[in-house]
Structure 1
Amino acid sequence: MRTSQWTPALAVAECDPDLVKKPAPKRKPVVTPKKAKPKPKPMKPKAKPKPKKPPMLNITQKIELQGMPFGKAEMTADNKKSLDKFVAALRKATKARGPVQMGAVVVTGHTDRIGSLKYNMRLSERRAVVVKDYLVKNANVDQKIIFWEGKGPKEAIPVTKFCDKRMKRKQLIECLSPNRRVTVEVVGRAVNLKPKPKAKPKAKKPAGKAKPKR
């Protein structure tokens, strides 16, 4: 309701909506988005320490297969048994070492002094080959690591120097039997299983006596 005293300044929004300015809409506060915290970089897994290589031992073992038949390149039953035991012992671990890893096998044939040098050289080579073949076929030794040679009568067993050539032939052949042989030498490596000796504690030095003050 308007009176005589009404002026546009007294206009009310409910009665005179056209005369009253609408209040400006309230501005919504601008919300600044919070910066996301950078994700922590994943930790690199620590590299596992490389296992230390076990200490190794250099191994050299030798066997002599004596008493081969006169004039023949054949192994006796005892020769075969001895060689089998020799190889088996190398491949078996002991308290001091692990199984031996063969690096080289040297097979050397020998003969007695009866007969010509040329004949005995060939015979000694044949004996070496017979043992080499046995190692490959029966002991599963890699042929690539086997080296063989024949030395004929050049390296006689010292005790046979007492075998007199004046002996009867049969007796002389028997006396020289140790020279009719093949030597097998194995060179290889094995893990050292012996525990390291404990370091001895350092002895404490006795405390020196204090010098009297003058």
Structure 2
Amino acid sequence: MVIELRGVHFQFDRPRPGQTDINGILDKPIADSVAILKQAADTLKRYPNTEIKIDGYTDSIGSQAYNLKLSERRAEFVKNYLVNHGVAESQIIGTKGYGKLDPVASNATAEGRAQNRRIEFKVENPGQMGQ
């Protein structure tokens, strides 16, 4: 099962290496993105046997090598957010960046590029969550 965290938008070229301030990473409206991340954390805490992989993506601007690293930082940022908000680290069985691969929208427009700067959860063991 794949769950896209719709509404969690990253600012262009964020996070930078070592950057942790949520206000400088998430795009506006930040409150909407934070609410979605909190909801994801709350759901995972309710289903402690559920395991996920976190996948990060970028838009098409920049080289694939750069975008791979950027998408990996996005996945790690979300992992750290979840763990810092009470999700057991053992529930997160991996993070991976895919760069600009597998766009969900056209990269020809600013709106499409924003949609492609995304995070997806791959639920590996849905347990009761899948019922």
Measured against the shorter chain, the TM-score band is: 0.7 to 0.9
Q: Does 1:64 align with 2:64?
A: no
State the identity %: 28
Deviation, structure 1 residue 192:
10
Q: Distance in 2 between matches of 1:107 and 1:192?
A: 18
How many corresponding residue pairs? 116
Q: Distance in 1 between matches of 2:44 and 2:9?
A: 23
- Runs of 4+ with >3 A deviation: 172-175
Native 8 Å contact 2:60 2:100 kept in 1: yes
Q: Distance in 1 between matches of 2:113 and 2:73?
A: 19
Amino acid at match of 2:91: I
TM-score by length of 2: 0.73
Deviation, structure 1 residue 111:
0.1
Q: Deviations over 1:60-98 (max 9, x none)?
A: 57232442101112234322211212343455xxxxxxx
Residue of structure 2 in register with 1:178 after alignment = 115
Residue of structure 2 in register with 1:125 after alignment = 72
Q: Distance in 1 between matches of 2:130 and 2:96?
A: 32
Q: Which one has more relative contact order, counting CA pairs under 8 Å at least 6 apart?
A: 2
Residue of structure 2 in register with 1:189 after alignment = 127
Deviation, structure 1 residue 103:
3.2
Larger Cα-atom Rg: 1
Amino acid at match of 1:154: L
Question: Any stretches of 5+ residues in structure 1 without a counterpart?
Answer: 1-59, 92-98, 165-171, 194-214
Native 8 Å contact 1:107 1:182 kept in 2: yes
Native 8 Å contact 1:101 1:190 kept in 2: no
TM-score by length of 1: 0.47
Report which of the two has the higher share of helix.
2
Deviation, structure 1 residue 115:
0.6
Question: Any stretches of 5+ residues in structure 2 without a counterpart?
Answer: 16-24
